[in-house]
A = this chain, B = another copy of it.
Amino acid sequence: MKTSNKHSKIISAATKVFAKKGFFNARISDIAKEAKVADGTIYLYFNNKFDILISVFEEEIGSLIEQVKKALAVEDDPRKMLEIFARKHLSVMKKNKNLAEVIQIELRQSAKLIKDYRNNKFSEYINIISSIVILGQEQNIYRASVHPNLVKLAFFGALDEISRIWAVGVAPEYTVEETTQQILEIFCCGLLLPNEPLRC
């Protein structure tokens, strides 16, 4: 294995604890207890508390990237690819609320601390969106006038906000499939009816 048993036990314990309490309210001893190791053991695998956070985030996003890329590999129609991305993101987030929350909270907490924003896993993840958009533009499917980097943010932001509400657990919950279809309808076709005079 690449990562030792203890390492991954700590990571998944930390994911759970961070999600439940938030980074700042989580105690190292909570994580240690959850991972069934001694407090000190954590410091054999991580430099400090923040390092655990980064690792959790990178690892989880990394796994997400793998899953998404694998799902995308079998498809080359940009329209379908965007759908796959949305469906995958939403279903993972709905299934794993811990992860959803960690992304939610830590993305905001640590953004400034992680200065090399462009070189991390998270960037890699959302850049998948922009590359799909670019692909669609090259194939003359998506309009050339939209900036892939803005679409990337808008698309991820939309999915993320929906996941947030799911994680908080107060909204009328739509199914993943329903939500995916709605997001696709909005992002692909827009809100306006086809015969609308102001149509782009």
Chain B residues lying within 8 Å of A151, measured Cβ to Cβ, are: 182, 186, 191
Say whether, besides A162-B150, A187-B190, A188-B190, A79 and B198 are in contact (CB < 8 Å). yes
| A37 interface hit (Cβ, 8 Å) | no
Docked-complex contact A117 and B170, CB < 8 angstroms: yes
The contact size tier of chain A is 35 or more
Please, which residues of chain B bring their CB within 8 A of the CB of A186?
A: 146, 150-151, 154, 187, 190
Q: Which segment, of A7-15, A27-35, A58-66, A104-112, faces chain B?
A: A104-112
**CB within 8 Å of B: which of A161-197?**
161-162, 164-165, 168, 170-172, 174, 179, 182-183, 185-194, 196
User: Is the CB–CB distance between B191 and A143 below 8 Å?
Assistant: yes
Closest to A195 in B: B140
Distance, CA A189 to CA B198, complexed state (A): 9
Closest chain-B Cβ to A18's Cβ sits at a distance in Å of 12
The docked-state distance in angstroms from the alpha carbon of A145 to that of B191 is 9
On whether the beta carbons of A182 and B105 are closer than 8 Å, the reply is no
Question: B191, A192: Cβ atoms under 8 Å?
Answer: no
